[in-house]
Amino acid sequence: MSTDTDTATSSAAAPGADDTALGEPATPPRGPVTSASYSITVRLTADGDPASIGRIATAVGSAGGAVTAIDVVDSRSDGLTVDVTCSAADAAHSAEMVDALRAVQGVSVRKVSDRTFLLHLGGKLEVAPKVPLKTRDDLSMAYTPGVARVCLALADNPEDVRRLTIKGNTVAVVTDGSAVLGLGDIGPGAAMPVMEGKAVLFKRFADIDAWPICLATQDVDEIVRTVELLAPGFGGINLEDIAAPRCFEIERRLRERLDIPVFHDDQHGTAIVALAALRNALRVVGKRLEDVRIVVAGGGAAGTAIVHLMLEAGARHVLVWDREGILSPDDERLTPAKLDLAGRTNPGCVRGELPDALDGADVFIGVSAGNVLAVEDLTRMAEQAVVFPMANPTPEVDPVRARQHAAVVASGRSDLPNQINNVLAFPGVFRGLLDARAREISDGMLLAAAEAIAAVVKDDQLNANYIIPSVFDPAVTQAVAAAVADQARAEPGATATVSDDDGVTS
């Protein structure tokens, strides 16, 4: 799951920078506000009437769009060529704005470019050298013959590979394309923009070199073996957008076989940030994690991980709802993974639907599907309720209307307060793991990360509209990295042993 800035739009292939497609095969319900992710630049010509520019801006506004820039490309005595940049709520809305511009008297639309597609042209990553190659001396040290000395030293001291190669700062972002964002099973090629985006976030927020590995298989054995073969070149594995329950088996087997940390962001990243937000939300309403009744909608990868981490943190009263209803250990319809989840959360074998689970509940956390809950159902919750509808692209219940019935509301949306976003967790988690040369990742490290994120929000900052820090707060990655690294070093056998020397001689 990416609750997240780490998002990408699904669309028909863009024909090029000069004429980019606006249509999408499946457009979600229009959002309440415009967004840069649906921004376009329209090149048009306008006649010499001085009022033309005003009519252009008015046309965009009348169509519900927002003009962010009007740039003059060419000026002549008989008129102007201008680029109008504006944002929309969705792809269909973009097309409506273009139609409105075409209807303006004295204006001719020449081309339309989708700025999101323009940003993705050629991909979002590149490889750049960290050392100069300007002289023969440079070449002889970076490559042959000098590189042979380093290779021989590493053959004698394999533990130094992390220190003398990119392995010490490199993460593989691995997917099979089976559960990409809210788009479903779209395949490895279509998943590439998301994995590239993930790698960009690693670099931007934690200075980690990450690379997208999109596999053309959904066979568990093949995925595990492929990652196992690739692992020597990486210091960590970030599993991404792999459907449940397959993701559980892949993660389990890779953790058993590899001597580097394996982290499934849709599970562990979501769980870390959700727990951090919940801790601060409970501070706002004056309740304790051990005492509150929690309902989780969604028994897949994210829901399972959230429940696990909350139980590890001390939660004692949790019910999980999915398409089968409230998950109960006596329900023979459940998969083994859901049966295990039910056994850990519902020993009393409570049955019912999602509104039934909410009776007297203090907390609702949604990682399921859009609009599965009516706003009115929130009235069944306890006073000072906490509501986190986090499904993307459409939350389980309208977060804006939920504020009528809940004391604290958070979601995955960037246009509302309290965005629960995985980018708060995974860059710092991997920064800490790599810095500590961790061999694995433990529940203790996940809990440390959640505590660190929550602690970034100080007592004098905390309120119902600010329970989680901004993804652009530099203190977040630093705090998470330090907490994870400290916890890794404190756990016996969790980190690798390396030489203390600055150089290795052979």
Q: Please say whether the dihedral angle defined by the alpha carbons of residues 193, 195, 201 and 202, taken in this order, is positive or negative.
A: negative
Integer angstrom CA distances of residue 282 from 250, 289, 407: 34, 7, 10
- Containing H/E element for 211? strand 209-214
Q: Give the residues across from 298 on adjacent strands.
A: none
Active-site residue among 111, 124, 130, 143?
143
Contacts 24+ apart (CB under 8 A), 72-78: 73/43, 77/48, 78/47, 78/48
Plot region of 158 (φ>0 → left; ψ -120 to 50 → alpha; else → beta): alpha
Q: In the structure encoding, which two tokens stand for residue 116, read together?
A: 């999101």
SS3 assignment, position 322: strand
Answer for the pair 188, 215: CB distance below 8 angstroms, yes or no.
yes
Let me know: does 264 contact 237? Beta carbons within 8 Å. Answer: no
Active-site residue identified among 38, 167, 198, 287: 198
Q: Known catalytic residue: 124?
A: no
287 carries an active-site annotation: no
Indicate if the alpha-carbon torsion angle 41, 12, 422, 234 is positive or negative.
negative
Backbone dihedral angles phi then psi of residue 289, each to the nearest 5 degrees:
-60, -40
No. of helices (H) and no. of strands (E), the chain: 17, 14
Token pair of 310, please? 């909350």
DSSP letter assigned to residue 204: H
How is residue 260 written in tokens? 């580097």
- Shortest CA distance to 142 belongs to which of 164, 163, 172? 164
What are the residue numbers of the active site? 143, 198
